[in-house]
Structure 1
Amino acid sequence: MTRTIKVTFDSEGVALTGNLFLPDDAGASGPLPGVVVAGTWTSVKELMADRYAERLAARGHAALSFDFTGFGESAGTPRDVEDPARKVRDIHHAVTFLAGHEAVDAGRIGALGICAAAMYMSDNAARDPRVRSLALVAPWLHDAAICEAAYGGAEAVAERVKTGREARARYEETGEIAYVPVVSATDERAAMPYDIDFYLNPARGGIPAWPNRFALMSWADWLTYDAVALAPRITQPTLLVHSEDAAIPEGAHRFHAGLAGPKDILWTQGTQFDFYDQEPQVALAVDTVTAHFGRTLA
Structure 2
Amino acid sequence: MTTIGVTFDSTGLTLAGNLYLPGAPVAGPRPAIVVGHPGSGVKEQAAGGYARRLAEQGFVTLAFDAAYQGESAGEPRGLEDPAQRTEDIRAAVSYLAGRPEVDPGRIGVLGICASGGYALAAAATDHRIRAVAGVSAVDIARQFRYGADGVQDPAVLQQLLDAAATADVPSFPLFPETADQARALGPHGYEGWEYYCTPRGAHPRSARTLTWSSIARIAAFDAFHAVNLIAPRPILLIAGRAAVTSWMSVTAFQRAAGPKELHWIDGATHVDLYDKDPHVTAAVAKLTEFFGTSLATADGLETAA
Q: Give the drift of 1:244.
A: 3.1
Q: Partner residue of 2:291?
A: 293
Q: Partner residue of 1:198?
A: 195
Match of 1:32 among 22, 30, 33: 30
Matches within 5 A, 1:3-22: 3-22=2-21
Q: Which whole-Å CA distance do the structure 1 matches of 2:250 and 2:124 have between them?
A: 18
Task: Report sequence identity in percent.
Answer: 37
Equivalent residues of 2:121, 2:224 under 8 A apart: no
Q: Give the drift of 1:66.
A: 0.6
Cα deviations by residue, 1:81-116 (Å, 9 ceiling, x for unpaired): 111001111111110000110000000000000111
Which consecutive unaligned segments of at least 5 residues does structure 2 have? 297-305
Q: Partner residue of 1:249?
A: 246
Matches within 5 A, 1:275-294: 275-294=273-292
The residue type equivalent to 2:13 in the other structure is V
1:149–1:91 CA distance, 2 compared to 1 (3 A): closer
Q: Partner residue of 1:70?
A: 68
Matches within 5 A, 1:37-56: 37-56=35-54
The residue type equivalent to 1:33 in the other structure is P
Are 2:153 and 1:161 equivalent residues in the alignment? no
Which consecutive unaligned segments of at least 5 residues does structure 1 have? 171-176
1:260–1:54 CA distance, 2 compared to 1 (3 A): same
Is 221-230 or 102-111 further displaced after alignment?
A: 221-230
Q: Give the drift of 1:62.
A: 0.4
1:91–1:145 CA distance, 2 compared to 1 (3 A): closer
Q: Give the drift of 1:231.
A: 2.1
Q: Which whole-Å CA distance do the structure 2 matches of 1:144 and 1:35 have between them?
A: 26
Q: Partner residue of 2:145?
A: 147
Equivalent residues of 1:36, 1:95 under 8 A apart: yes
Is 148-157 or 246-255 further displaced after alignment?
A: 148-157
The residue type equivalent to 1:243 in the other structure is G
The residue type equivalent to 2:19 in the other structure is L
Q: Partner residue of 1:182?
A: 174
Q: Which whole-Å CA distance do the structure 2 matches of 1:277 and 1:71 have between them?
A: 21
1:30–1:120 CA distance, 2 compared to 1 (3 A): same
Equivalent residues of 1:112, 1:135 under 8 A apart: yes
Equivalent residues of 1:146, 1:251 under 8 A apart: no
Q: Which whole-Å CA distance do the structure 2 matches of 1:48 and 1:267 have between them?
A: 19
Q: Give the drift of 1:164.
A: 3.0
Q: Partner residue of 2:303?
A: none
Q: Give the drift of 1:247.
A: 3.5
Q: Which whole-Å CA distance do the structure 2 matches of 1:71 and 1:182 have between them?
A: 14
1:149–1:8 CA distance, 2 compared to 1 (3 A): closer
Are 2:260 and 1:263 equivalent residues in the alignment? yes
TM-score by length of 1: 0.89
The residue type equivalent to 1:262 in the other structure is P
The residue type equivalent to 1:250 in the other structure is W
How many residue pairs are counted as aligned between the two chains?
Answer: 286
Q: Give the drift of 1:228.
A: 2.9
Q: Which whole-Å CA distance do the structure 2 matches of 1:144 and 1:275 have between them?
A: 20
Q: Which whole-Å CA distance do the structure 2 matches of 1:91 and 1:280 have between them?
A: 28
Report the aligned-residue RMSD: 2.3
Equivalent residues of 1:140, 1:247 under 8 A apart: no
Q: Give the drift of 1:24.
A: 1.1
TM-score by length of 2: 0.87
The residue type equivalent to 1:56 in the other structure is L
Is 228-237 or 34-43 further displaced after alignment?
A: 228-237
